[in-house]
Structure 1
Amino acid sequence: MSAALTSKPRKFRISYSLIFILPAFIFYVLFVVVPTLSSVYLSLTSWDGVSPDIRFIGLDNFVELWKSERVHNALKNTLVLSVALVILENAAAIVLAMLVDQVRWFRNFFRSAFYLPVLLSGVVMSFIWTVIYNYNFGVLNQLFESWGLAALKIDWLGDTRYTMIAIIVSIVWKSSGYYMIIYLAALQSVPQELIEAARIDGANRWQQFCHITFPLLAGAVTVCMTLSMINSLKVFDQIAVMTDGGPGFATETLTYIVYKVGFGEMRQGYGTALALALFGLILVVSLIQVALLRKREVQL
């Protein structure tokens, strides 16, 4: 009798749980599972994105990706951009976090000022930096002229030697404030007793940072470097607005090729195959990065 009474409420709870889960499950299936499976199928076709005729071609798109010099160049650009951004964004974020953590006056003002670029959309930020980098009236070249160094004027977005550097600087300026907040939260948990003990033992600020502060930021470093790597592999807005992948193909990345091929060249099948390859790259790199950083946390 008691078993029957307890089984009914249990079945009742399970049925109601399923009812509450069902809307989210349907939403997830319709907007995640179905598009993912559709993408896998479309990557095996020669669909142009418009025609109702979809011709199945098997792995031809992936074979073309493997042999394409344009894709190889974009992969190189993507990896260079990603490595530079992961290092520079996190280095700048740690420096900003430590500065804000040490300042006594107007702390909230500096937090807001450093975080403000994060609130700008990628398109707006890109237009701002395009004006800054302009060869004729850009701020940088105008400064060179005012200092009597007109010969040092640089075509920042037209010279293949400097274009990628210009893009990296603009992205670091925009994104560092986001990671600064994470590092700042981690700095609040560093025991001040350890810092005081190190100071009494004669350790300077650099030694305190290397042997106490930075090891205790290991968890934040893992989070920030993983997020930075994922975001850098997906950079699109800055490339589209500032250089359009140029000059030539100097700044063309995998994300930008997906857009150009899929919508510019009307090769949705090929573009979808490239998007899946990019997804695989992000997944593999992220897993390796997290595994290495987690191992470092354990060692620390």
Structure 2
Amino acid sequence: MATTLQQVKKKKTWISYTVLFLLPAFILYTMFVIVPTFGSVYLSFTSWDGISNEIRYIGFDNFVEMWHSDRVHNALKNTLILSIVLVVLENAVALALAMLVDQVKWLRNLFRSVFYLPVLLSGIVLGFVWTIILNYNFGVLTQILDKLKLTSLKLDWLGNPNYALISIIIFTIWKASGYYMIIYLAGLQGIPPELSEAASMDGANRWMQFRHITFPLLAGAFTVCMMLSMIGSLKIFDQIAVMTDGGPGFSTETLTYIIYKVGFGELRQGYGTALSLVLFLLILLLSVIQIKVLRNREVQM
């Protein structure tokens, strides 16, 4: 009986210390995440301008306006295009780089660092650099083409609506692929080389080894990279802000950028918060679907 009481006291003491240990983090999380989240839900039903003390409740007017807004429809279309293209190309490039670095015998760490370097640098700074490179009038690319007498190949990458979104995609792939490369590289280094050697002895070529051995064993890394890539592409902002400012026209506006422009540029915090809520629900829905599909794929493999 005495032993049981001592065990109960020890358990209560352990629980008390655990609560005390977690309490500061819980308080901070509540103050900076939970409360602002519920506050944002409330503000999405108001016409608050973000400055005045007057917060007028307007019901679902923000969402009705959003539903009928061609600008929002265009931003949603651009967001989905960016998400689909970036998820596919970022992971394809990252996996190719990982397999390339994994095969390198000399200076492997150097190649890994070179490919990862863009991830470490500020997106704003790199955006300015790429703006200088792609500028139609005085850009580095334009000057190189002029020197080579290839002026017919000059394109207004950032000023033409047909190429502006492509420029954003190319820049984002270049900047982000190194991050996913590291994850794929860790997965590749966890695959026993004996499997590929045995398959090679049985007559399997490189493609067959990749399809039946490497790719299935990278299912976990593939799931992580696909999820991170999708969430990152849905929240893309800094490169658009620096390189195109949502233009020309509205050709490169995304949901995150229109939230910024409406909330801070047009002083419509209520409407911007409503857009933020829609973006949150979109990310949540796509994340749940993607996790379910990719987890099922892992099980099948």
TM-score calculated relative to the size of structure 2? 0.97
Q: How does 1:11-160 map onto structure 2 within 5 Å?
A: 11-160=12-161
- Relative to structure 1, the CA distance from residue 202 to residue 257 in structure 2 (aligned partners, 3 Å threshold; closer, same or farther) is same
Classify the secondary structure of the residue corresponding to 1:161: helix
- Which digits, 9 at most, give the CA deviation of each residue in 1:18-55, with x for residues without a partner? 22221111111111111001001100100000010100
Do residues 8 (structure 1) and 9 (structure 2) align?
Answer: yes
How high is the sequence identity, in percent, across the aligned residues?
69
Classify the secondary structure of the residue corresponding to 2:161: coil
Q: How far apart in 2 are the matches of 1:190 and 1:9? A: 44
Q: How far apart in 2 are the matches of 1:16 and 1:151? A: 72
- Which digits, 9 at most, give the CA deviation of each residue in 1:167-216, with x for residues without a partner? 10001000000000000000011121121122112222122212211111
Q: How far apart in 1 are the matches of 2:130 and 2:29? A: 38
Alpha-carbon offset, residue 15 of structure 1:
2.1
Alpha-carbon offset, residue 144 of structure 1:
2.1
Q: How does 1:181-200 map onto structure 2 within 5 Å?
A: 181-200=182-201
Classify the secondary structure of the residue corresponding to 2:173: helix
Alpha-carbon offset, residue 4 of structure 1:
3.7
Structure 2: give runs of 5+ residues left out of the alignment.
Answer: none
Alpha-carbon offset, residue 9 of structure 1:
2.8
TM-score calculated relative to the size of structure 1? 0.97
Structure 1: give runs of 5+ residues left out of the alignment.
Answer: none
Q: Give the aligned partner of residue 240 of structure 1.
A: 241
Q: How far apart in 2 are the matches of 1:195 and 1:8? A: 56
Alpha-carbon offset, residue 277 of structure 1:
0.3
Q: In the alignment, residue 55 of structure 1 is paired with which amino acid?
A: R
Q: How far apart in 1 are the matches of 2:186 and 2:52? A: 52
Classify the secondary structure of the residue corresponding to 1:251: coil
Classify the secondary structure of the residue corresponding to 1:238: helix
Q: How far apart in 1 are the matches of 2:14 and 2:223? A: 39
Alpha-carbon offset, residue 151 of structure 1:
1.8
- Which digits, 9 at most, give the CA deviation of each residue in 1:91-119, with x for residues without a partner? 11011101100001111100100000000
Q: How far apart in 2 are the matches of 1:209 and 1:6? A: 55
Q: How far apart in 1 are the matches of 2:118 and 2:57? A: 45
Alpha-carbon offset, residue 10 of structure 1:
2.6
Q: How far apart in 2 are the matches of 1:187 and 1:241? A: 36
- Which digits, 9 at most, give the CA deviation of each residue in 1:225-283, with x for residues without a partner? 10000000000000000000000000000000000000000000000000010000001
Alpha-carbon offset, residue 142 of structure 1:
2.3
Q: In the alignment, residue 201 of structure 2 is paired with which amino acid?
A: I
Q: Give the aligned partner of residue 175 of structure 2.
A: 174
CA RMSD of aligned residues (A): 1.1
